[in-house]
Structure 1
Amino acid sequence: MIEVRELTKTFGKTIAVDRLSFTVRPGRVTGFLGPNGAGKSTTMRLMLGLERPTAGHALIDGRPYRETGEPLRRVGALLDASYVHRGRSAYHHLLWLARSNRIPSARVKAVLEMVGLEGVARARCRTFSLGMLQRLGIAAAFLGDPPVLLLDEPVNGLDPEGVLWLRTLLKGLAAEGRTVLVSSHLMSEMALTADHLVVIGRGRLLADVGMAEFIERSRATSLEEAFLRITADATEHRAQPEPGR
């Protein structure tokens, strides 16, 4: 389980996360939604100890991520698929991660097959497309077979087959009792994947509710419509119609 309590992060005079509190429970896919600049990525970085909170805390299974021994066995994360050594092969990228967490090397082959990269396992990452890098990032997140998953925009660059595969995988992992938090801007995909939603705007909590109830409360006919209504006052960059039209 992931617990966020009064989490606050400031950068100078800018408040990126503002007294944010919510819980991500096991057994369901929780969608983490918000407009650009809402603080989603910063919140996930705080959860993973990549940023230090100004106040409050984020706990994973009752302790800060920094205190987790062999973290890949406890938490699988994908924040930016481009964070790989481009000169390494996909296999060796995963192998050094596995060895750093005492994960058997056989698991590297297993996750490469799981994400469909076994045919390019020895290819340099510099030759990979965005979709291939995304699959490699997903493989790294699953390397330790962790009970907790944090994925930031995991469908970016995936083709329709890959999107369907990942949706099915995440729902299956949640059904096994794992804790799954997924950030995405694709409302149509979130509507098909998530059971529960945490919505933030300007660093503050706007909703922490089940999918069906979220849409019903907003008197909307779709997740996209409900999202646009609840975040209307929290969107910093809003496009306007062309003058004269």
Structure 2
Amino acid sequence: MIEVHELSKRYGATLAVDRLSFAVRPGLVTGFLGPNGAGKSTTLRMMLDLDRPTGGTVRINGRRYAALRHPLREVGALLEARDAHGGRSAYHHLLWLAQTHRIGPARVREVLDLVDLANVAGRRVKTFSLGMTQRLGLAAALLGDPPILLLDEPLNGLDPAGVRWLRDLLRRLAGEGRAVLISSHLMTETALTADHLVVISGGRLVADAEIREFVGAAGSLEEAFLNRVGGAR
């Protein structure tokens, strides 16, 4: 599991994340929600030791991400799908990642098939559509068969069939006992996918609750979100 404790990040006079605490638990899809500028992406980057916190800690099964011996085997992350080298084929991009963790080519072919890119594995990444690039990023996140997934806007660029496919995949992975955190602006899809919610605004925690508890009498996740975030500003 992931434990975030009193996490803060300051950029000059701007406090982007303010003493944020929550946990991402196994067996659940946790939706990570907040308006633009709420601090979601900054929080995800600190989870992965890409940004250094001003204060607080993030522990992944008791350790910092930077201390994990084989991070791809422990945490699968998708923060920016377009960070793959455009001149490489999809297969060789994943093979390069796999070799850094002693993962064999059979697993590369397996995840390409899982994300429905096996038939374009030899194409250069720069020729991919946004949806195809997103699927490649998901393949990279799944490459090490990790027990934890951190996904920032994983639905970007996916068509309706792709959205349904990803929803089913994430729920299946959580059903296997994995901890899944997804950051998204899509309320309807989050309501269909997530079991639990962490909601932030202005870098502060607004809610950490089961989705049914959060929605309550509001009738929809969108309405409950707007009510709570509006009150938090």
Q: Distance in 2 between matches of 1:87 and 1:228?
A: 43
CA contact 1:134–1:156 (8 Å) conserved in 2 = yes
Question: What CA distance in whole angstroms lies between the structure 2 residues aligned with 1:37 and 1:205?
Answer: 14
Deviation at 1:70? 1.3
Counterpart of 1:102 in 2: which secondary structure?
Answer: coil
TM-score norm. by structure 1 comes to 0.94
Q: Following the alignment from structure 2 to structure 1, what is the Cα–Cα distance between the partners of residues 17 and 88? A: 35
2:227 aligned with 1:229, yes or no?
yes
Is the CA contact 2:200–2:206 (under 8 Å) kept in the aligned structure 1? yes
Shift of 1:105: 1.2
What per-residue deviation string (whole Å, max 9, x for no partner) do you get for residues 88-111 of structure 1?
000000000000011111100000
Work out whether residues 206 and 232 of structure 2, in 8 Å CA contact, stay in contact via their aligned partners in 1: no
Deviation of residue 234 (structure 1)?
Answer: 5.0
Counterpart in the other structure of 1:50: 50
CA distance in 2, matches of 1:128, 1:159: 14
After superposition, residues 23-42 of structure 1 pair within 5 angstroms as: 23-42=23-42
Report what 2:218 is aligned to. 220
Q: Is the 8 A contact 2:170 2:180 kept in 1?
A: yes
1:28-87: per-residue Cα shift (whole Å, max 9, x none)? 100000000000000000000000000001111110000001110000000010111001
- Runs of 4+ aligned residues of structure 1 deviating over 3 Å after TM superposition are none
**CA separation in 2, counterparts of 1:177 and 1:75?**
14
User: 2: CA distance between counterparts of 1:127 and 1:193?
Assistant: 30
Query: What's 1:111 paired with?
Result: 111
> In structure 1, what is the Cα distance between the partners aligned to 2:142 and 2:18?
31
Task: Specify the code of the residue in structure 1 equivalent to 2:197.
Answer: L
Q: Which structure 2 residues correspond to residues 172-183 of structure 1 after superposition, within 5 A?
A: 172-183=172-183
Query: Is the contact between residue 35 and residue 234 of structure 1 (CA under 8 Å) also seen in structure 2?
Result: no
Summarize the alignment of residues 39-78 of structure 1 with structure 2, pairs less than 5 Å apart: 39-78=39-78
Structure 1 or 2: more helix by fraction: 2
Measured against aligned partners, the alpha-carbon deviations of 1:161-195 in whole angstroms (never above 9, x if no partner) come to: 11001100100111111010000000000000000
Provide the C-alpha distance between the structure 2 equivalents of 1:15 and 1:233, rounded to a whole number of angstroms: 19
Amino acid at match of 2:69: G
Unpaired runs of 5+ in structure 1? 236-245
Separation in 2, partners of 1:133, 1:186: 19
1:14 and 2:2 correspond: no
| Secondary structure of 1:231 counterpart | helix
RMSD of aligned residue pairs (Cα, Å) = 0.8
Q: 1-side partners of 2:108 and 2:47: how far apart?
A: 25
Within-5 A mapping of 1:89-108 = 89-108=89-108
Are 1:79 and 2:79 matched, yes or no?
A: yes
> In structure 1, how many angstroms separate the alpha carbons of the residues matched to 2:65 and 2:55?
16
Q: Which runs of 5+ in 2 are unaligned?
A: none
Q: CA deviation at 1:158?
A: 0.2
Residue 242 of structure 1 corresponds to none
TM-score (norm 2): 0.99
Q: Distance in 2 between matches of 1:105 and 1:47?
A: 28
Identity across the alignment (%): 67
| Contact 2:198-2:209 at 8 Å conserved across structures | yes
Contact 1:187 1:224 in 2 (8 A): yes
Instruction: Supply the distance in 2 between the matched residues of 1:102 and 1:130 (Cα, whole angstroms).
Output: 29
1:208 is aligned to 208
